[in-house]
Structure 1
Amino acid sequence: MKELLAAVREGRHRDVPGLVAPLDRAERRLALAELKTLRKEARDREWRERTRTLKAVLVAGAGCHAGAAGCAAWIGARELREWEHSPYPWVLKALADRDPAWLADLAHRLAARSVDSEAEYRLVVELVRMADCPLPASDGMVRGWAERINAARWRQRPAPPLTVLLRAEPYLGVLAPHLLDMPELPATVAWAGYPDPDDNWPSALTTLAAEGLLERTVLLERCVTRMLRGGKTSDLRFCTLLLRGLEPTAQEEAERTSDWIAMAADGPSPVAGHAQEVLARLDGHGRLSVAQLADASGPVLFRTEKKLVRAQLVLLGKVLRRNPSAAGQLLPVVGEAFGHPDIGIQERALKLTARHLPSTPADVRSELADRAAQLGPVHRPAAVALFGDLLDDGQAGDVHEEILPPAPVPRRLSPATENTAELVEEVVALVRTGSRQVPEFERTLDGLIRCARTNRTALVEALRLALAGVWWAEAGQQSEIDWRFIRRHDGLHVVVASLLEQAPEHAFAENRARSAAAGACFHAALDGVTHARLWEAAAAIRTGELPFLLATPTWHTGALDPMELVDRLHRYRELRAEPGPVDFAQALLRVRRTGGEEAADRAAALGTAQGDRLAAWIRADEPLAPVLRHHVEAEAPPARGWLQQSAAGARRVLLATRERLVIQQEFPRAFHWLGRPHTPGPQTCYHWGGGSPQWTAVLPEDSETLAAWLLPFVATCAEDQRGSAAPLPALVETAAPAGGAIHLALGYALGARYPEDRLSAVDTLLTLAARGQLDAALLGGELTTLIGRELVKPARLASSVAAAAETGAYRTVLSVLLPVLPVLLSRERAPRGLSDLLAVAAQCAERCGPQGAGPIAGLAETAARGGSTQLVRQAARLQAAWGKEEAA
C-alpha cells in the first residue's frame, strides 16, 4: 500500500493498476482513505503537478472502491476529469478483477451520469464488453456516441458519408432511436449545415431504416411523439426531415390523425405546417372526416400565422366545393376567421361564407351573423349585404374603454431587520447570487451598518461561518484576492469582507483614488457613485461608529422622503455622528425636492452644515443637469477597432446636458462627472450589457437627466445591441416628470431590433400613459425624426405598437401614430412597414374612432390608388374606419 501511495503522489498512474491488484479488501479500504486526503492536497498544487496527481488518484480510487455506486461517483467527479490524455485505459486495468455483474452495475451508473466526451463513452462501452451486458441508452451515452461519430468522420480525408460510419456501429439500434427521446438533440446531430443535403443525420437514419438496420416503425412513432412535445427549432427541423424521409403510408398517417390535429393547433409554425400538409393528404385520400376537419380548423384559424390560416381556408373551400352538405358543420368554423386581425383573411372567410351560406340551416346563419359583427368597417357593407337584418349592428355605437395597466405605486422599503439570523440570511443570499436589486440591496446594506454597531460579535461569528468558501474567505493566492478587491468588486462583498477583516488595507486607498477619477463615461460615473458609497461603508463598518445610513431609500425606486432624511440628520446630531460625505451626497440626489418646503424649514432649523445643505437643495428644486437638444449630424467616422460603435452612431439624435457647478463644488469627487457639461457622441467605452438596476436609484428624481445620458446606450437597441432598452421601464416608475429625453429614448426603443427590447418599450409606453405623462404629439414627432433619419424602421415600430394595441390601449397607440402617418404617406416611395403601421392604426380606429381628429394627410390619395396591395387595402381600411370626418 505504501508503494501505491508513493506512486500516486508522484503521479505515476500507469503503475497504479499493478500496485492495486495485490491488495485485499481491507487494504484497499485503508488506501482509499489516504487517497481522499491526497485528492484534497492536490487541489493547491501547480496545475501540471495537480493533473498528474489527480490522474493517479482517479485510477487508484477506482481500483480501491468496493461498491459500484461509490466507484461511479469517484470516476465521475468533475475535478478528476481535468486531463488532456485519458487515464481510462488504466482504470479498466484496475477493474479487471471485478465480477461481471459488478461491472455491469458500474456501466449503468456511469451512463446515467454526465457523459461529456468520447473517452467517457468508450469507458462505458469497454465496461459493457467486459461485463457482457446490454449497452445502457442514456442521454449522455448518445451525446458521447454522436461526438465520437463526428470526430471519426472529420479525422478522415475525404470525410466518408455518414451512412458508412453508422453502418459499422455495433450499438446503432440501441442509441439511434434514443435520439428522439432526448430533451435536446446533440448539436452535431441537429446541425443543418452539411455541404451535401443528402448527407446528414436525418437522411442517414432514413437510409438505414430502409436497409433494415433500424426499426422504421420505432423511429416513426418516436418522431411523431417528439414533434408533439415541441422543443428547439433545430430539433423540430431534424424531426420533420426524418419524418418526411420515412415516408409514412396513408394508413400510418391516418392512425395518427389526432396527433396531426394537435400539432396543427399548438405546434410551432414549421411543425403546424407539416401537420397541415398531412391533414390535406388525408382529406385527399378520404381518410379525414368532416368532424375531424372541423376540430382541426378551429384552432388553426385562431392562430396568428397568416400562411397557416390561408392554407386552412383553402382546404375548407375544397371540401365545401366537393361536399356542399358539409356547410352546416364547417361554416361556423370559417366564421372564426372573422375576428382575425388581417383584413385579407377576413375577406377570404367572408367570400367563402357567402359562396356556401345558402346551403346552411337558419340557426347556422344566425350564428355566422353574430360572428360577422367582428368584421371591421371595411367589410361591413359586404356583411350587411350578406346577412341583412340578421347582422347585429348595435355595437357601432359602443364607446371604447381604454385599457391601461395600473399606474405604478411606489412601494415602501421595509426597515432593516434587527434580527442577526435574518440579516445573515439576506447577506448570504446577496453575496452568493450577486443580486443588485435596489430594495434588497439597500435594506441589507443598512442592516449591516446597524447590526455592526449594536451586535457586532454575534454578526461577525455568524457571517464567518455562513460565508466560508467565498472567494475572499478562501485560503489561496492573496495577490489574486487583492486584485479583485482593487478592481472595485461590486455588491456587498467589500463591506462584508471589511467587517470580517478580510479586505486588504491598500485596497481602500486604491479605490478612493479610482472613485475620485470615475467618470470617463456615464457607465463608469453611475457605477462609480455606488462603488464609492460601498467603500465608504466598508471603511465605516470597521469602527462601527455610524448608527445607520442616510441614503437608504424610502421607496423601491430609490427615492427618499425629505422628512425622513431630516429625522435621520436629527438623530445623527443627537448621537454626534458625522455623516459620510458620499452617503450624504447620495441622499441629496435621492431626496424628493417637490413640495418639500416644510422639510426644508425643519432641515434649516437643525443648525448643522448638512441641514443647511439639504434645505438649500430642496428649495433650489433644480434638475441635476438641465437637458439640451443636440443633433449629431456628422458623417460616419472611420472605424477605430472593435470599441467603435456602428457607423450609424454618428447620425443619431442625442441630447446634451449643461453643467451644474454645485455638484462640482460641494459634492465628493466621485460625483463630479454628474455635474459637468456633456455633449454626446459615438460610444467608445468598453461597457456593454443591459445596464444596472442601481442606475435609476442613483438619480431617482432626475430621470430626464439619466435618460439623456443613457441615450447613446439606448439608441444601440435600434441597431444591433440586445438589451439596451432594459433600463427604460424603471426610469418611468419614478415620480419624476417625463420630458423630451424619455420620449426620445422611448422612440428608439419602439424601433428596437430584438423583441425583448421592444417589449421593454411597450411597458414604458403603457406606464407613461397610465401615469398621464405620455405626450403623444412629442413622441410622434420624435418617431418622425428618427424614421426620417433611418434610425428607426417602420416595420419594427409596427411590431411594437401592435403589441401595445393588443393590450387594449387603442386610443393611446392611435394618438402616437397620428403624427407619424402623414409624413410616411407623403413619401414618393412607401417605406417598408407602412402597411403594417396602417393596419395597426386601422385596428385602433375601428375600436375607438377618430376621437375628433381631422383628416390624415395623404390617406385618401393612397387608398384611391387602386390595386390589391396591402398598402392600398390597409389605407382603405383606415379611411373607412375614420368615417365621416375623414371624408370631409
Structure 2
Amino acid sequence: MTTLLDAVREGRTDDIRPLLARLDRGGRKAALEELKALRKEARGWRWDERTRVRKAILVAGAGCHTGAAGCATWLGARDMRDWVHSPYPWVLEVLGDREPDWLADLARRLAARAVESDAEYRLVEELARRAGCPLPVSDGMVRAWAERVNSARWHGGSGKPLLDVLRADARLDVLVPHLLTMPELPSVVAWVDSGSPADYWPAALTALVAEGRLDRAALLDGCTARLLRGGKPTDLRFCLLVVRGLAPTAEEEAARVADWMAMAADGPSPVAGHAQEVLARLDARGALSVRQLAEVSGGVLFRTEKKLVRAQLIHLGKVLRREPSAADELLPVIADAFGHPDTDAQERALKLAARALPAASPEVRAEAAQMASLLAPVHREAARAVFGELLEDVPGTAAYEEILPPPPAPRPLGPPAASMAELTEEVTAVLLRSDQEDVSAFERALDGLVRQAHSGREELITALEPALAGQWWAKAPRDDVDRRMLRGGDGLHLVAASLLGRISRRAVHDGQTRGEAKGTCCHAALDAIVYARLWEAAAVVGAGTLPYLLATPTWHTGAIDAPELVERLRGYGELGVKAGPVDFAQALLRVRRTGEEEAAERAAALGTAEGDRLAEWLRADQPVATVLPQHVETDVPVARDWLRQTVTTVRRVLLSTDGNRLVQQRFPRTFHWLGSPHAPLNHRCYHWFVESPHWTAVLPEDGETLAAWLLPTVASCVDEQRGTTWLLPALAETGGPAAGAIHLALAYGLGARDAEDRLSAVDALLVLAARGRLDAELLGGELAQLIQRDSVKPGRLADAARTAAGTGAYRTVLSFLVPVLPALLARERAPRGLSDLLAVAAECAERCGPPKTGPVPGLAETAARGGTTQLVRQAIRLETVCRAGTG
C-alpha cells in the first residue's frame, strides 16, 4: 500500500495497475482511506501539482472501490472531472478484472450522473461494450452524443453532411428516442438555419425514417408529445419541422386528434396554427365529429391571435354550408366570439351567426341573442337586424359611467413601537430585508432606534445584541466594517452597528463630514441625502442626544403634516435640544406646504431658529427646483460597440430645472445639488441599477421636480432598458402640481418597449385620473411629440391604451388619444400601429360617447379613402361615432 501511495503522490499513473494487483480486498479498502485524505490535502496545492496528482488519485481510487455505487460516486465527483487530457483509459485498465454485471452497473450509474464531456461519454460507452449490455441512456449522455456528432461533422475542417454522420452511428436508434423526452433539446440539435434547413437535424431525422433506420411511429409520437407539452420556441420549431417532414398519413393524424385539439386551444401560436390546419384536414375527411369541432372551436375563438380566430370562423362557415344541421352545436360557440376583444372577429362571428340562425332550434337562437349584449356598440344595429325580436328581452344599454380606481388613500405611519420587544422585532425585520424597500417600516425602525437610544440605551443594546449577532458587521473586524460602511453604507445596518459599537467614532465622524454627493446625477444626490441622514442618526444613537427624529413621515408617501412638525419643534424647544441639520433639512423637504399659513404662524411663534426657518419655508410654498417648461432635445447614447469604438445615440425630449437660492444658502452641503440648476445636456449617470423607493420619500411634495430629474432614466424604457418605469405610480401619489415633467414621464412609460413597464405607466395614469390630476390634453400633446420624433411607437401606445380602457376608463383613454391622432392622420404614409390606435379610440368612443373636443382633424379624409384596410375601417368606425355626436 505504501508503494501505491508513493506512486500516486508522484503521479506515476502507469504503475498503478500492477501495484493494485498486489493488494487484496482489505488492502484496497485501507488504501482508499489514505487516498481520500490525500484527495482532500491536494485541494490546497498549486494547480499544476494538483492536476498531476489528481489523475493518479482518480485511477487508484477507482481500482480500490469494490462496489459499483462507490466507484461511480468517486469517478463522478465534481473535483475529479476537470481534465485537459482524459485519465479514463487508465481507469478502464484498473477495472479490467471486474465482472460484466459489475461493469454494467457502473455504466448505468455513471450515465445517470451529469455526463458533460465526450471523454465521459466514451467511458460509459466502453464500459457498456465490455459488459455486453445496451448503452445506458440519460440526458447527459444524449447531450454529449449530440456534441460528438457535431464535432464529427467538422472534423478536419471540411463540413460533412449531417445525414452521413448520423447514418454511420450505431447508437442512433437508442439515443434519438430519448432526445425528444429531454426537458430542453441540446442547442446543436434544436438550432436550424432557416436559409438552409436541409442539412440540419429535423431533415436528417426524417430522411433516416424514410431509410428505415428510425422508427416512424416513435419519432412522430415523441414530437407530438413535445408539442403538446410545450417548451422553448426553438424546441417547438424543431418538432414542428420533424412532424411536417414526416408528412403524417390521414390515419396517423386521425389517431392523434385529441392532441391536435389540445394544441389548437392552448399551444403557442405556431403550434396552434399547425394543429388548426391538421384539424381542418381531418374535418374535410369526415374524421372530426361536430361535437369535437365545437369543443376545439371554443378554445380557439377564446385566443387573442386574430389570424387563428379568423381562420377558425372561416372553417366554421364552411362546415355550416356543408352541414346546416350542425347549427345547434356550433351556434353557441360562434356566439361566444361576440365577446372577443377584436371587433373584426365580432363582426365575422355575427355574420356567421346570421347564417346559422335559421337552422338552429328556438332555444339555441335565444341563447345566442343573449350573447349579443357582448358585442361592441358598433355592431348593435347589425345585431338587431340579425336577431330581430329576440333582442327585445335583452336589457338595454345603461348610461355610461366612467370606472376609475379609488384614489389611493394616504396611510398613516402609526405611533412608535410601544415596547423594546416590539422595536427589536421591527428593526430585525427591516435588517433581514436586504433591499429595505418598505419605506414606512424603515422610517419607523429608524425613529424607534433614536427614541430608545435616548430613553434606555443600555436596555436597547441588551435586546438587540443577541437578535443581530448573525449580521456580517457583528462578526467582522471593526476596520473592515468601517471601510465597507464608508464606501457605500448599508442602510439601517449602519445605525444598528453604530449603536452596538461595531463602527468606530472616527468612521462616524468621517461619514458625517463627507459633504456633497459624489457624481453629477440625481440618483447619487438622492442617495447621498438618505445616507447623510443615516450617518447623522448613527452619531445620535451613539450619544443618545435626540428624543426623536423630526423627519419621520406622517404618511406612507414620506410627507409630514405641517402642524405635526411644528409640535415636534415645540418639543425640542421645551427640552432644549438642538435639531440635527440633516434631519431638519429632510423634514423641510417632506412637509406639506400648500395652504399652511396657520402652521407658519405657529412655527414663527416658537421663537426658535428652526421655527423661523419652517415658517419661511411654508410661506414661500415653492418647489425645491422649478421645472422649466421648454423641452430640451439632446442626443443620448443607448448602445456602445467597444470593438469598433462606436456609440449609437437617440434623440430625447427632456426637461431642465432652475436653481433654488434658499436651498443653496440655508441647507447643508449634501442638499446643494437639489438647489442647483440642471440641464439634461450635462446629465451623466453611471448607475447600473436606478431604483430606490426612498427617492420619492426624499421629495414627497415635489413630484414634478423629481420627475424632471428622473426623466432621462424613465425615457430609456422606450428602447434600451427594462424596469425604469417602476417609479411612475409613486410619482402619481406625490404632492405638488402634476405638470409637464410628470406627464412627459408618463408619456414615455406608455410607449415603453417592455409590456410590464407599460403596465406601471397604466397604473400611474389611472392614479392621476382618480386623483383628478391628469391633464389629458397635455399628455396627448407630449405623446404626439414623442411619436413625431419616433421615440414612442403607436403600436405600443395602443397596447397600453387598450389595457387602461379595459379597466373601464374609456373616457380617460379617449381624452388623451384624441390629441395624438391628427398629426398621425396627416402623414402621407400612415405609420405602423395607427389602425390599432384608431381601434382603441373607436371602442372608447362607442362606449363613452364622442370626444368632447369635436371632430378629429384628418379623420373624415382617412375614412373617405375607400377600401377595406384596417386603417380605413377603424377610421370609419370612429368617424361614425363622432358624426353621430354632432348630429
TM-score by length of 1: 0.85
Match of 2:662 in 1: 662
Measured against aligned partners, the alpha-carbon deviations of 1:525-582 in whole angstroms (never above 9, x if no partner) come to 2233334445555666666777766545454434445566667667777888776544
Could you tell which deviates more after superposition, 672-681 or 21-30?
21-30
Residue 872 of structure 1, CA deviation = 1.6
List aligned pairs for 1:544-583, cutoff 5 A: 551-560=551-560, 581-583=581-583
Match of 1:590 in 2: 590
The whole-number CA distance in structure 1 between the counterparts of 2:543 and 2:5 is 51
Residue 277 of structure 1, CA deviation = 0.4
The whole-number CA distance in structure 2 between the counterparts of 1:828 and 1:775 is 30
Match of 2:866 in 1: 866
Q: Is residue 638–residue 647 contact of structure 2 (8 Å, CA) maintained in 1?
A: no
Match of 2:432 in 1: 429
**Which of 19, 26, 30 in structure 2 is aligned with 1:27?**
30
The whole-number CA distance in structure 2 between the counterparts of 1:572 and 1:8 is 77
Measured against aligned partners, the alpha-carbon deviations of 1:591-610 in whole angstroms (never above 9, x if no partner) come to 44446667666766776655
Match of 2:252 in 1: 252
**1:856 counterpart SS class:** coil
2:784 paired with 1:784: yes
Could you tell which deviates more after superposition, 817-826 or 583-592?
583-592
The whole-number CA distance in structure 2 between the counterparts of 1:423 and 1:69 is 51
**1:24 counterpart SS class:** helix
Q: Is residue 519–residue 673 contact of structure 1 (8 Å, CA) maintained in 2?
A: no
The whole-number CA distance in structure 2 between the counterparts of 1:575 and 1:18 is 90
- Counterpart residue type for residue 456 of structure 1: I
**1:647 counterpart SS class:** strand
List aligned pairs for 1:277-426, cutoff 5 A: 277-392=277-392, 397-413=397-413, 418-419=420-421, 422=425, 426=429
- Counterpart residue type for residue 764 of structure 1: A
List aligned pairs for 1:456-855, cutoff 5 A: 456=461, 459-460=464-465, 462-464=467-469, 466-467=470-471, 487-488=487-488, 491=491, 516-536=516-536, 551-560=551-560, 581-594=581-594, 610=610, 613-633=613-633, 646-649=648-651, 652-681=652-681, 684-689=684-689, 691-850=691-850, 852-855=852-855
**1:307 counterpart SS class:** helix
Match of 2:144 in 1: 144
Q: 1:613 to 1:683 in 2, by over 3 A?
A: closer
Measured against aligned partners, the alpha-carbon deviations of 1:487-522 in whole angstroms (never above 9, x if no partner) come to 426556666676787779997788668763424112
**1:726 counterpart SS class:** coil
Q: 1:196 to 1:870 in 2, by over 3 A?
A: closer
Q: 1:727 to 1:58 in 2, by over 3 A?
A: farther
The whole-number CA distance in structure 1 between the counterparts of 2:499 and 2:749 is 43
Q: 1:664 to 1:308 in 2, by over 3 A?
A: same
Q: Is residue 517–residue 525 contact of structure 2 (8 Å, CA) maintained in 1?
A: no
Residue 374 of structure 1, CA deviation = 3.6
The whole-number CA distance in structure 2 between the counterparts of 1:107 and 1:65 is 15
Q: Is residue 656–residue 708 contact of structure 1 (8 Å, CA) maintained in 2?
A: yes
Match of 2:227 in 1: 227
Measured against aligned partners, the alpha-carbon deviations of 1:10-69 in whole angstroms (never above 9, x if no partner) come to 888888888888573653464366357537x72xx7766776777777667767777766
Q: How many residues align?
A: 875
The whole-number CA distance in structure 2 between the counterparts of 1:74 and 1:609 is 76
Measured against aligned partners, the alpha-carbon deviations of 1:656-698 in whole angstroms (never above 9, x if no partner) come to 1111223333333332212110111285532345533333233
Residue 715 of structure 1, CA deviation = 1.6
2:156 paired with 1:153: no
Q: Is residue 431–residue 492 contact of structure 2 (8 Å, CA) maintained in 1?
A: no
The whole-number CA distance in structure 2 between the counterparts of 1:64 and 1:591 is 77
Could you tell which deviates more after superposition, 351-360 or 572-581?
572-581
**1:407 counterpart SS class:** coil
The whole-number CA distance in structure 2 between the counterparts of 1:248 and 1:402 is 54
Q: 1:142 to 1:121 in 2, by over 3 A?
A: same
The whole-number CA distance in structure 2 between the counterparts of 1:725 and 1:347 is 37
Q: Is residue 689–residue 723 contact of structure 1 (8 Å, CA) maintained in 2?
A: no
Q: 1:73 to 1:273 in 2, by over 3 A?
A: same
Q: 1:424 to 1:407 in 2, by over 3 A?
A: closer
The whole-number CA distance in structure 1 between the counterparts of 2:584 and 2:19 is 70
The whole-number CA distance in structure 2 between the counterparts of 1:499 and 1:70 is 53
Q: 1:515 to 1:175 in 2, by over 3 A?
A: farther
Could you tell which deviates more after superposition, 488-497 or 358-367?
488-497
- Counterpart residue type for residue 438 of structure 1: V
Q: 1:882 to 1:412 in 2, by over 3 A?
A: same
The whole-number CA distance in structure 2 between the counterparts of 1:105 and 1:628 is 78
- Counterpart residue type for residue 696 of structure 1: T
Q: 1:504 to 1:185 in 2, by over 3 A?
A: farther
Residue 197 of structure 1, CA deviation = 0.7
Q: Is residue 634–residue 654 contact of structure 2 (8 Å, CA) maintained in 1?
A: no
Measured against aligned partners, the alpha-carbon deviations of 1:370-408 in whole angstroms (never above 9, x if no partner) come to 333444444444333333322349655411232333433
The whole-number CA distance in structure 2 between the counterparts of 1:176 and 1:766 is 54
Residue 708 of structure 1, CA deviation = 0.4
**2:303 counterpart SS class:** coil
Larger radius of gyration: 2
**1:818 counterpart SS class:** helix
Q: Is residue 223–residue 243 contact of structure 1 (8 Å, CA) maintained in 2?
A: yes
Q: Is residue 637–residue 648 contact of structure 2 (8 Å, CA) maintained in 1?
A: no
- Counterpart residue type for residue 761 of structure 1: A
* Percent identity over paired residues: 62
Could you tell which deviates more after superposition, 62-71 or 282-291?
62-71
The whole-number CA distance in structure 2 between the counterparts of 1:812 and 1:662 is 39
5+ residue gaps, structure 2, are none
The whole-number CA distance in structure 2 between the counterparts of 1:428 and 1:63 is 52
2:200 paired with 1:196: no
**1:520 counterpart SS class:** coil
The whole-number CA distance in structure 2 between the counterparts of 1:613 and 1:768 is 32
The whole-number CA distance in structure 2 between the counterparts of 1:87 and 1:429 is 47
The whole-number CA distance in structure 2 between the counterparts of 1:498 and 1:61 is 53
Residue 654 of structure 1, CA deviation = 1.6
Residue 444 of structure 1, CA deviation = 5.7
The whole-number CA distance in structure 2 between the counterparts of 1:732 and 1:12 is 73
Measured against aligned partners, the alpha-carbon deviations of 1:333-367 in whole angstroms (never above 9, x if no partner) come to 33333333333333333333334443333333333
Residue 167 of structure 1, CA deviation = 3.5
The whole-number CA distance in structure 1 between the counterparts of 2:782 and 2:378 is 31
Match of 1:438 in 2: 439
Q: Is residue 29–residue 65 contact of structure 2 (8 Å, CA) maintained in 1?
A: no
The whole-number CA distance in structure 1 between the counterparts of 2:617 and 2:720 is 41
The whole-number CA distance in structure 1 between the counterparts of 2:236 and 2:743 is 41
**1:371 counterpart SS class:** helix
Q: 1:475 to 1:878 in 2, by over 3 A?
A: same
Q: Is residue 373–residue 394 contact of structure 2 (8 Å, CA) maintained in 1?
A: no
The whole-number CA distance in structure 1 between the counterparts of 2:442 and 2:104 is 52
The whole-number CA distance in structure 1 between the counterparts of 2:10 and 2:337 is 77
**2:252 counterpart SS class:** helix
